[in-house]
Amino acid sequence: MHEWLISRGDVRGVPYEYVIQIFVPVNVVIAHPGHCHQKLQFGEVGARMCLNYILEWHSMEEIEAWLTYLLPYMTIAEEKLRWLRV
């Protein structure tokens, strides 16, 4: 399992009840170990690949609603909302 938009590293120091909110269907993809996982993990290309996959199953509105819910609890959510809207 790979968190693609908000990762475990992004939520260090966030209370546990909000950390677990990153393990939701709009934020995880299944990736093969090794090369596939590494390709998804770094950079814009991997992030866009994950977004394209997620959008096969969920709408942009669902992703944005999830991030909006997280806004009061983690500052990274605002950055990720801006990234999605570019």
pLDDT by position in tens, the chain (length 86): 788 899 888 999 889 999 999 999 999 987 756 555 555 556 777 788 888 889 999 999 999 999 999 999 999 999 999 999 88
Domain coverage including residue 76: 2-84
> What's the domain count of the chain?
1
Residue 61 pLDDT? 97
What's the pTM value of the predicted model, to 2 decimals?
Answer: 0.84
What was the pLDDT predicted at 3?
86
Contacts of 2 (CB under 8 A, 6+ apart): 28, 29, 30, 31, 37, 40, 41, 50
DSSP state of 10: G
pLDDT value of residue 60: 96
SS3 of 72, please? coil
Q: Is 29 in contact with 50 (CB distance < 8 Å)?
A: yes
